[in-house]
Chains A and B, each alone.
Chain A
Amino acid sequence: MTTVQIPAPLHYPDRPDGDPAAAETLAGTLLHGSAVTTEFADVAALLSDPGYMWRGAASEAYTAHSARFAKQYEPMGETLKRVARGVDVFAAELRELQSEHTTLVGQVTAYDRDRVALIADVDAGTEADVPALQDRARRLSTQRTGIADDITDFQKRTTDNEQYLTRLFTGADTEAEAQAPGGGVDDMATLAILTMPLFKDPKAMANWWNGLSEAEQNAVIAAYPEKIGSADGLPASARDGANRLLLESDLAELHQKEADGTLTDQEKQRLKNAEATQKALKYSDDYVVPGTNDHPGGQLWLYDPDAFNGDGRVAIALGDLDTADDVSVSVPGIQTQMDGVAGNMKDTAHLYESARHSGDGSSVATMFWLGYDTPAGDLLEWGEVPSEDRATDGGARLADAVDGLRASRPDNPAHMTAIGHSYGSTTTSYAATNHHLAVDDIALIGSPGTGPADHASDFSVGADHVYDGRNSRDLVAALGEQGWLRKSQLLGLGLGVDPSSEDFGAHRFEAESVNRADHIRNIDDHTRYYDRDSESLYNLGRIVDGHGDDVVGADQSYDPWWGPPQDPEIDRTPTTDVPGRSDTGFGNEP
């Protein structure tokens, strides 16, 4: 008698208890309470000192009492804020777990269906069917083991998440705990952060992060978002979670101060930066590629509103930087500051559209990266021509950022492209020449010069992977050096070689605009490189998609001995919406 071993049935896992949206609402209430408490402590400290307006024994008694009172409340706002962030992190994890629950239920249902079918076939089968039935039973058994393991892991994570939430509340439910410095920090986070590498090497950071359990990671994000949000080497999802917490609490606190009229000038700028980030992030979160169901989602990869004396640092991506096959980093130029970030996200979206529309089906993430201090001056105003100092510093920062992205996904490297626009192209050139920028391709658009690089082969990616787009009417792009006239002859003035020139040796691609001016160089044509259905956007999309060899080439500019620099593109008729040349997929925006 031959037997067929039917694997045991599987039980459905319990759905994680709770409602993520309701938990987020509670987090919002706690955050508001924290903002009010922080403001209360700050104002109470100020009011405790009446200064010259009141002196005497009564005044001294009042000051002693009220100052002590204010001091008690000082740490409480922070404690409540940490708990609020923890509840937010709990809610995000709960949402994910509930989604996984749905998937697991589907898997169990399918398993049970297959199991019942196998039992029926065994009942009806003959001896001849036994080998096939045994094979099915073995496969089903393997499947069962996999699902059972997933359920066990799922249940553990559910329990961990609930216990974490409970600890958050019990750890700050007495006045003493609320008033303790560091109140509201979960012990798990305290222990985990102690093991964080002292030197912020991206690879070491990635190893540290991957060595933490999911529960520890969540606890650390909630307790130390300022350490996690800008840590190079950590997954974008972790940075995004941390930065959103920072943004949310900034907005709550600063709006409270605004309502009280107690904002300092520095805080006013911080609020502007936070509000601009919120707007840009909302645009990214809500964005759907027109005419499709492609909803890439946003990621707040960098949020540092106080950097550079309030100019701020911010980076926002469309798509998933942790998993996308193709990742681009767009580096902006002069006068770009954090409070204007919302205006830059459309360009980032257009680039995403183009890369997807003309692409090979690979997933894409496009990131706007304002991680350096751009010059505030005007390139075209006499006396305000910026030096290369900001590009030098920015180049190092850009290279570090890319190293961080690389280190965060060592087993699944993306094809990466850096795109530098305007002064950002000079910054990108510094990164590629002096700091071994670890991307695969580099595109420079509207470039006023390539800084330290005299030739595309000076770049880390090699000349064959350097691309340049230059609108022949772009006034800023005309500032690059051509021919024999170099910085060395100009007392160091200028930003370097024009990358569209034949001397530089990059692949120049078509980047003329149908809206370009008639034979007059102007500033508007400096801002058309990301226009929908433009030649430039089409070619950038091809490069981002990893198909730079498919760009539509343009003749390089040159500087003949007999006259001024010549641009062969000046007389070519530009195209728009031409498939394989300037069609980026989705028409012009209303």
Chain B
Amino acid sequence: MTDGVEFNPALLFTVIPQWRTQASQMRSAASSLGGAPTGGLPASAAGAAKTFLSMWENTTRKGSVAADVYADELESTGTSYQNIDAEIARRMDAMGAGAR
């Protein structure tokens, strides 16, 4: 249990863009790692290098996906809070109209 709910919509303008930036940078890093040429390495190390780069590409890509998911979730959470707020306000307004 918590002591109730607080949500400042400013969160949407601070945290979400930062997650998006991180997602974008990790996506770009994933592409760089995945596309890094191994042709200049000795043949004996080329296979190991490819496995290594592939793992790092996947891991950084996972990071970018997760960052996007956090941003999406925060966005939808914020939207939900605001929708509920608006819905309740609408109902109150409607109740007020009936009372007249």
Contacts and interface: CB of A to CB of B under 8 A. Distances in A.
Contacts of B33: 29-30, 33
Interface string B26-42: 10110011001111111
Contacts of B1: 57
Given A53-B10, A56-B6, A57-B2, A178 B29 contact: no
Nearest to B9: A53
Interface residues of A, number: 49
Contacts, number: 137
B44 A162 contact: yes
Interface stretch (A11-19, A215-223, A314-322, A536-544): A11-19
A173 B55 contact: yes
A54 B8 contact: yes
A91 to B, nearest CB: 9
Given A17-B42, A22-B40, A23-B41, A43 B15 contact: no
Given A47-B70, A54-B11, A172-B52, A22 B59 contact: no
Interface in A427-457: none
Interface string A42-78: 0110010010111111101010001001000100100
Nearest to B19: A47
A66 B42 contact: no
A56 B5 contact: yes
Contacts of A169: 45, 48-49, 51-52
A56 B7 contact: yes
A274 interface: no
Contacts of B18: 43, 47
Contact of A26 (B11, B26, B36): B36
Contacts of B41: 18, 22-23, 26, 165
Nearest to A76: B59
Contact of A52 (B2, B4, B6, B48): B6
A36 interface: yes
B55 A37 contact: no
A187 to B, nearest CB: 15
Interface in A19-37: 19-23, 25-26, 29-30, 32-33, 36-37
Contact of B40 (A19, A37, A69, A174): A19
Interface in A142-185: 162-163, 165-166, 169-170, 172-175, 178
A40 B22 contact: yes
Contact of A40 (B14, B26, B44, B48): B26
Contacts of A17: 42-44
A50 B44 contact: no
B3 to A, nearest CB: 7
A1 to B, nearest CB: 50
A56 B4 contact: yes
- Chain A's interface: helix, strand, loop or mixed, by majority? helix
A39 interface: yes
**Chain B interface residue bracket vs A:** 35 or more
A166 B44 contact: yes
B93 interface: no
Given A21-B40, A36-B60, A62 B29 contact: no
Given A21-B40, A33-B60, A56-B5, A260 B21 contact: yes
B25 A36 contact: yes
Interface string B48-62: 110110011001100
Nearest to A163: B44
* Central interface residue in A58, A60, A62, A174, by most chain B CB within 10 Å: A58
A73 B40 CA distance: 29
A60 B2 contact: yes
Given A18-B40, A55-B4, A178 B11 contact: no
B77 interface: yes
A215 to B, nearest CB: 15
Contacts of B77: 58, 62
A80 interface: yes
A29 B36 CA distance: 7
Contacts of A178: 55-56, 59
Contacts of A44: 22, 67
B72 interface: no
Contacts of A53: 6-8, 10-11, 14-15
Contact of B51 (A19, A33, A40, A173): A173
A162 B45 contact: yes
B19 A37 contact: no
A156 B40 CA distance: 20
**Among the interface residues B4, B29, B55, which one has the most CB atoms of the partner chain A within 10 A?**
B29
Contacts of B51: 169-170, 173
A58 B81 CA distance: 11
A55 B42 contact: no
B87 interface: no
Nearest to A165: B45
Contacts of A66: 70
A178 to B, nearest CB: 6
A166 B1 CA distance: 52
A166 B48 contact: yes
A58 B74 CA distance: 10
Nearest to B3: A55
25 contacts: A18-B45, A19-B39, A20-B40, A26-B40, A32-B29, A33-B33, A36-B28, A37-B29, A39-B25, A40-B22, A40-B67, A50-B11, A53-B7, A53-B11, A57-B5, A62-B70, A62-B74, A66-B70, A163-B44, A165-B45, A169-B45, A169-B48, A170-B51, A173-B51, A178-B59
- Top-8 shortest CB links A-B: A22-B40, A19-B40, A56-B5, A17-B42, A169-B48, A169-B52, A53-B8, A36-B29
Given A40-B63, A50-B11, 20 more contacts: A18-B40, A22-B39, A23-B41, A25-B37, A30-B33, A32-B29, A33-B33, A36-B29, A37-B60, A47-B19, A53-B8, A55-B6, A57-B2, A62-B74, A165-B42, A165-B48, A170-B52, A172-B52, A173-B48, A260-B25
Interface of B: 1-8, 10-11, 14-15, 18-19, 21-22, 25-26, 28-29, 32-33, 36-45, 48-49, 51-52, 55-56, 59-60, 63, 66-67, 70, 73-74, 77
